Amino acid sequence: MKRWFFGFAVLAAACDPGEGDPVVAARKRQMQALDASLTIIAQSGGGPVDRMLAEIEARAVAEGAARIPALFAERRLPPEIPSRARAELWEQTNEFRDLAARLGRSATGLANAIKAGDFVGPLTQVEADCLACHRRFRLPDPNAKTR
Ligand code: HEC
């Protein structure tokens, strides 16, 4: 019984990345979806079905990027909640929006490049746009050994 309960608690935590805060859970889920899309694109082969799926994922990244400002509209900060958002995010909102918009543009560029058959360069640009925002507005991972 105890064991079952423990398993359930672990599962519940895995399903709720905001650990009880629905606003934080929503923004983290969107980020996880962006990550999953990039993995699918990076692993896709050159065949027509792969290309079609990769293009859909790239468009999903562009749509996800458009949702970022709304998902972060409400100020929710650590240490009260489990989040790595920096306080500056709610002070430099224009810069935050610009970085999200930049990702939207590069993801659309990636989708078009996939359609045209060559997407290595555009994928690198999308990844750079993810990192640009993380470096500026995301706190370092407390569990990471480096940085
Ligand atoms: C405009 C800013 C911005 C952009 C662009 C951005 N992110 Fe994020 N991302 C954040 C912030 C801020 C957090 C921290 C959220 C939190 O902990 O509350 C985050 C968190 C994450 C997380 C961790 C989610 C979790 O479960 O804790 C992943 C994964 C992630 N981002 C992937 C991506 C990928 C992949 C891209 C590009 C396709 C991307 N992000 C683009 C700002 C951004």
* pLDDT tens for each residue of 105-138: 999 999 999 999 888 899 999 999 999 999 999 9
- pLDDT surpasses 90 at 29: yes
Residue nearest to atom 36 of ligand 1 (CA): 130
The pLDDT of residue 147 is: 44
Model-level pTM? 0.90
139 CA → ligand 1 middle, Å: 11
Residue nearest to atom 28 of ligand 1 (CA): 31
Least confident of 13-22, 28-37, 77-86, 91-100: 13-22
Judged by DSSP in three states, 142 sits in coil
- pLDDT surpasses 60 at 32: yes
Residue predicted with more confidence, 139 or 77: 139
Q: Which of 28, 88, 134 to mutate to test the pocket of ligand 1 (most atoms within 8 A of CB)?
A: 134
What would the two tokens of residue 118 be?
């060559």
Q: What's the CATH number for 2-137?
A: 1.20.120.10
What would the two tokens of residue 65 be?
């990027």
Query: CA torsion angle for 82, 87, 88, 93 (degrees, to 10)?
Result: 80
